[in-house]
Amino acid sequence: MGQGASTMSCISAQPDDDAELNESNQDTVHQQMPQFPHVAEKDYTAWLPDECLAFMFQKLGTLDRNQCSLVCKRWHVVEAQGRQRLALVAHADVVPYLPSIFTRFDHITKLALRGDRKVLGISDKGLFLIGHHCTHLVKLKMKGCKEITDDGIDLFARASGATLRKLACGSCNFGARGVNSIVKHCSALEDLTLKRLRGLGSKNLHTLMICRNPGNWDKLLDIITEHVHGLVELHMERLQISDRGLQAVSRCSRLEVLFVVRTPDCTNYGLSAIAEGCKQLKKLHIDGWKLSQTGDEGLSALATKCRELQELVLIGINATAASLDLMASNCLSLERLAICNSESVGDLELSCIAAKCRALRKLCIKGCSISDQGMRGLAHGCPRLIKVKVKKCRGITWQSAVWLQVHRPPLVLSLDCEAPETPDILGESEESFEDVQEVVIIWRVMTPSCAAADNLPSNATLEVSDFSVAGQVLAYSFVSCEKGRERPIATLSMDTWLVVFGPQSKDVA
Tell me the residue range of the domain where 162 lies.
84-200
| CATH number, position 99 | 3.80.10.10
Backbone region of residue 339 per phi and psi (left: phi > 0; alpha: psi in -120 to 50; beta: other values): beta
Average pLDDT over residues 475-493: 39
Please count the other Cβ atoms lying within 10 Å of the Cβ belonging to residue 87: 12
How many angstroms separate the Cα of 371 from the Cα of each of 246, 365, 368, 375, 377? 36, 11, 9, 7, 11
Judged against a pLDDT cut of 50, whether residue 14 lies above it is answered with no
Give the length of the chain: 509
In a domain, 111, yes or no: yes
For residue 33, what pLDDT is reported? 42
The mean pLDDT value for 20-46 works out to: 52
Report which DSSP code applies to 216.
B
Count of domains forming the chain: 2
| Residue where one domain finishes, among candidates 175, 200, 225 | 200
Specify the DSSP element, H or E, that contains 490: strand 485-492
Question: CB of 110 within 8 A of CB of 84?
Answer: yes
Residue 387's beta-bridge partner residues?
362, 412
Quick: pLDDT tens for 202-233.
566 788 888 777 777 888 888 778 777 788 99
Q: Which residue has the higher pLDDT, 35 or 272?
A: 272
- Amino acid in the structure at residue 497: W
* 425-449 pLDDT tens trace: 434 333 433 433 333 333 333 333 3
pLDDT at 63: 83
Whether residue 496 is contained in a domain is answered as: yes
Quick one: how far is CA 243 from the chain centroid? 11
Q: pLDDT tens across 317-362, in order? A: 889 999 999 999 999 999 999 999 988 999 999 999 999 999 999 9
Q: Does any domain span residue 400?
A: no
Tell me the mean pLDDT in the region 49-60: 84
Amino acid type, 73: K
435: in domain: yes
- Residue 491: inside a domain: yes
pLDDT at 31: 46
- Check residue 246 and give its pLDDT: 94
Q: Report the phi/psi class of residue 288: left, alpha or beta, with left for phi > 0 and alpha for psi in -120 to 50.
A: left
Are 195 and 173 spatial neighbours (Cβ–Cβ below 8 Å)? no
d(CA 509, CA 507): 6
Please say which residue of 168, 200, 232 terminates a domain: 200
Q: What is the mean pLDDT of the chain?
A: 75
Q: Kind of pairing, strands 438-441 and 460-467?
A: unpaired
- Of the two residues 299 and 37, the one the predictor is more confident about is 299
Q: Which band of pLDDT confidence, cut at 50, 70 and 90, is reported for residue 239?
A: confident
Res 474: pLDDT: 33
pTM, full prediction: 0.53
Provide the pLDDT confidence category of residue 418 given band limits of 50, 70 and 90: low
Give dist(CA 187, CA 192) in Å, integer.
Answer: 12
Pick the range with the lowest mean pLDDT from 34-48, 116-130, 262-276, 300-314. Answer: 34-48
Q: How many CB atoms lie within 10 A of CB 486?
A: 11
Q: 239: how many CB neighbours lie within 10 A of its CB?
A: 22
Strands (E), 82-214: 85-89, 110-114, 139-143, 166-170, 191-195, 207-211
468 domain residue, yes or no:
yes
| E strand or H helix at 63 | helix 62-68
Higher pLDDT, 73 or 153: 153
6-28 mean pLDDT: 42
Please say if the pLDDT value at position 291 is more than 80: no
CA distance 123 to 90: 9
pLDDT at 371 over 50: yes
Question: Is residue 212 a part of any domain in this protein?
Answer: no
Q: How far apart are CA 10 and CA 22, in angstroms?
A: 18
Domain boundary among 159, 180, 200: 200
Residues 209, 184: contact at Cβ < 8 Å?
Answer: no
Dist. CA 271–CA 264, nearest whole Å: 13
Does residue 172 fall inside a structural domain?
yes
Average pLDDT value for residue range 275-292: 86
User: Which of the 8 DSSP states describes residue 30?
Assistant: H
Question: How wide is the angle at C-alpha 365 spanned by C-alphas 359 and 366, nearest 5°?
Answer: 160
Mean pLDDT, to the nearest integer, of 495-505?
35
Say how many C-beta atoms besides its own lie within 10 A of residue 102's C-beta: 20
